[in-house]
Structure 1
Amino acid sequence: MTLRSTARRAAGLLLLAGLALAPAARAETPRVLAIITSADPQAQGMAFVLLGQMRQQGATVEVMLCGPAGDLARREPPGPAAAALRPMNATPAQMLQNLVRAGMRTEVCALYLPNAGVGPEALIEGVRPAAPPEMARRMLEPATRVLPF
Structure 2
Amino acid sequence: MKVMRISCWASAIAATTLILSPLAMADEHANDDDAYAERALVILTSDSLQTQGMAMILANAMREQGTTPHILLCDAAGELAIDGYESETELGPRGVKPEGLMQMMMGEGAGVDVCAIFLPNSEYGEDDLRDGVGVATPGAMAEMMRDPAIPVFSF
Bin for the TM-score computed over the shorter chain: 0.7 to 0.9
Question: Secondary structure of the equivalent of 1:69?
Answer: helix
Deviation at 1:26, TM superposition (A): 6.0
> 3-state DSSP class of the match of 1:144?
coil
CA RMSD of superposed structures (Å):
2.1
Match of 2:51 among 19, 25, 43: 43
Q: Percent identity?
A: 37
Q: Is the 8 A contact 1:101 1:126 kept in 2?
A: no
Distance 2:131 2:95 in 1: 22
Residue 65 of structure 2 is matched in structure 1 by 57
1:125 paired with 2:125, answer no
1:137 aligns with 143
Residue 71 of structure 1 aligns with an amino acid whose one-letter code is E
SS of the residue 2:151 aligns to: strand
Which 4+ stretches in 1 moved above 6 angstroms? none
1:106 aligned partner: 112
**TM-score with structure 2 length normalisation?**
0.74
Match of 1:68 among 70, 76, 79: 76
The aligned counterpart of 1:89 is 95
Give how far 1:82 is off: 3.6
* Matched residue type, 1:65: L
> Number of matched residues?
127
Superposed CA deviations along residues 74-114 of structure 1, whole A, max 9, x for unmatched, are 11226xx3421112212211121111122101100001111
User: Does the residue aligned with 1:147 lie in a helix, a strand or coil?
Assistant: strand
